[in-house]
Chain A
Amino acid sequence: GAGVSQSPSNKVTEKGKDVELRCDPISGHTALYWYRQSLGQGLEFLIYFQGNSAPDKSGLPSDRFSAERTGGSVSTLTIQRTQQEDSAVYLCASSIDRGPETQYFGPGTRLLVL
């Protein structure tokens, strides 16, 4: 009965470096979301995967951000040439389907770009 897991839990990097964040959704959940939450702010939608459909990338803030979901399960969010404004908590969530079902969140990855 494992929940959503994310790794690493914390990441400190230097400006200009690339980072990869990983998300393992709940088994059987076809929908997977990535969000970003800056300090004291609400959740900002980044990207959504549903089964084998093309992902909804409408929330990605720039072309430095990309994400993949392999085999309909594990997802990786990649940020290239990181900037200080990328510092935030990156949250992954999964749900059974893209309905208004509850989303189950992972613990997040806290990214700090120096």
Chain B
Amino acid sequence: RKEVEQDPGPFNVPEGATVAFNCTYSNSASQSFFWYRQDCRKEPKLLMSVYSSGNEDGRFTAQLNRASQYISLLIRDSKLSDSATYLCVVWDSNYQLIWGAGTKLIIKP
């Protein structure tokens, strides 16, 4: 089992729709969680940090479920510019950032 797992997608979603995807992690002692965004042939960039019960930033909401060991990312009113790969990242108890393989999102007009 991978330490951080994501559905690779792609998720094909019409513009304006709401889309959500999950990420599961195996180390129950993990403390911090992040969502990064990576555009095609570009480097990853931080989208959101996820602490305690989660947080919201505009159209983006991240949630953490410690009992089930997953985090989620919800995007409302999706835009064409949201098309990207979304990487789940977990800070584990061994002081390492563990990266998921990413979920590809395609927003269609």
Using a Cβ cutoff of 8 Å, how many contacts connect chains A and B?
A: 39
CB-CB contacts below 8 Å: A57-88 with B: none
Contact: B97 with A41, CB < 8 Å? Answer: no
Q: Which residues of B contact A (CB under 8 A)?
A: 31-32, 34, 42-46, 49, 87, 91, 95-102
Instruction: Mark A residues whose CB is within 8 Å of B.
Output: 33, 35, 41-45, 48, 56, 91, 98, 100, 102-103, 105-108
From residue B9, how far is it (CB to closest CB) to chain A in Å? 11
A56 and B97 CA atoms in complex are apart in Å by 13
A43 to B97: give the CA distance in the assembly, Å.
10
Which of A42, A98, A105 is in CB contact (< 8 Å) with B95? Answer: A98
If A100-B91, A102-B34 touch, whether A42 touches B101 (CB-CB below 8 Å) is yes
Which of A41, A44, A105 is the most central at the interface, judged by chain B CB atoms within 10 Å of its CB? A105
Q: B42: which A residues are within 8 A, CB to CB?
A: 107
Ordered by A's residue number, 5 sampled pairs between the chains whose C-beta atoms are within 8 Å are: A33-B97, A44-B99, A91-B44, A100-B31, A103-B97
B102 surroundings in chain A (CB, below 8 A): 42
Q: Is the CB of A91 within 8 A of B96?
A: no
Contact of A45 among B34, B96, B101 (CB under 8 A): B96
Assess whether B97 is in contact with A45, with CB atoms less than 8 Å apart. Answer: yes
Known contacts being A102-B46, A102-B49, A108-B43, is A43 close to B99, with CB within 8 Å? yes
Complex CA–CA separation, A103 to B89 (angstroms): 11
How far apart sit A34 and B5, CA to CA, in the bound complex (Å)? 21
State whether B49 touches A107 (Cβ < 8 A).
no
Which residue in chain B gives the minimum CB-CB distance to A110? B41
Nearest Cβ on chain B to A108's Cβ, whole angstroms: 6
Give Cα A90–Cα B42 distance, bound, in whole angstroms: 12
